[in-house]
Amino acid sequence: MLATIARFCVLNRRWVLLAWVLLFVVGIVVGSQVFNRLKDTNGASGAESVQGSSILDKASSMGPSAVVLVKGPPVAAASTRTAVQTLTARLERLPQVTGAVNAYTSPDPRLRASDGHASLIVVSVRKNASMTAQHMAVDAVPAAVSTVWLAATAST
């Protein structure tokens, strides 16, 4: 049976190729319509997890956050502290940012690496901002970080 199919495909290779191309194009057209029909229901509204998430969302004033890793020189060094404080201040001035916390302004030990050569800055974005504004605020963080990094390296 497979030999018969193979023989048919070899003898009619142009028609077989055309049929596969046609099937591929139809698949692309039909498949692209699937994404238009998908809906994000965020779960059933009566589910406990959805109700709990809704309660937490309403109780919190924080929106999405971005985390900046500062790695390299010792965290205890005065120059590192100055650079991190400068970067934190710059990040807090970004539009839609509600605050930024670093290893020097927070008592949380998880913001500082155990080896003393890395720390984190957590940037919080305004919760009631539009999704586009939230994404733009988070996307602005790397540019602010690289600007401060370039200024710090130029001054040393």
Report yes or no: 97 and 104 within 8 Å, Cβ to Cβ.
Answer: no
- Model confidence at 134, pLDDT cuts 50, 70, 90, reads confident
Considering the chain, what percentage of its residues have pLDDT values greater than 70? 85
CATH 3.30.70.60 fits domain 61-155:
yes
Give the neighbor-by-neighbor strand order of the sheet with 118-126: 62-71, 118-126, 97-101
Work out the average pLDDT over 26-53: 77
The overall pTM is greater than 0.85:
no
Beta bridge partners of 122: 67, 101
Class of residue 101 by CB neighbours under 10 A (exposed 0-12, middle 13-18, buried 19+): middle
Work out the average pLDDT over 32-41: 77
Where is pLDDT greater, at 9 or 125? 9
Where is pLDDT greater, at 74 or 153? 74
Query: What pLDDT digit, counting tens, does each position of 88-101 carry?
Result: 888 888 888 888 88
Class of residue 100 by CB neighbours under 10 A (exposed 0-12, middle 13-18, buried 19+): buried
Whether residue 141 is predicted with pLDDT greater than 70 in this model: the reply is: yes
Domain boundary assignment for the chain? 2-35, 61-155
Class of residue 153 by CB neighbours under 10 A (exposed 0-12, middle 13-18, buried 19+): exposed
Sign of CA dihedral 93, 96, 99, 100: negative
Identity of the residue numbered 154 = A
Residues 6 or more apart in contact with residue 9 via CB below 8 angstroms: 16
Whether residue 151 is predicted with pLDDT greater than 70 in this model: the reply is: no
Where is pLDDT greater, at 113 or 144? 113
- Model confidence at 34, pLDDT cuts 50, 70, 90, reads confident
Residues 6 or more apart in contact with residue 90 via CB below 8 angstroms: 144, 147, 148
